[in-house]
Amino acid sequence: MSDKSVEITLNGECTIYEVAEWQNKIIEKWSDYSQTLSLNLAEVSDIDACFVQLLLSCKKTAHAHGAQCHLLNSPEILNDRLKNMHVAEILQDDH
């Protein structure tokens, strides 16, 4: 695993309408999947299930390449959504 990490700051709405744009930005900046991916979510104002699927995909991709994916500064709206979708244990970590 590479010692380097990639941090991407997401902001605004992260819903079905923006998820393709966020996916492209993540792919562009996280080209070496062996690097740790940190997603800073402090400025995210709204999320939906499509965005949660994107987060799950990032976590799965990192795991498949022996890397980690961390969610930083998760807003309460995201934490609540993850609990309601029963995926909080998968996406949240001690980071």
pLDDT one-digit tens code per residue, 59-75: 999 999 999 999 999 99
In tens, the pLDDT along 21-30 reads: 999 999 999 9
Strand partners for 12: 44
Task: Tell me the two tokens of residue 38.
Answer: 């940190």
pLDDT in tens, the chain (95 residues): 456 899 999 999 999 999 999 999 999 999 999 999 999 999 999 999 999 999 999 999 999 999 999 999 999 999 999 999 999 999 877 44
Domains and CATH numbers, the chain: 5-91 (3.30.750.24)
Distance in angstroms (rounded) separating the CA atoms of residues 22 and 11: 10
Residue whose structure tokens are 């498949």: 64
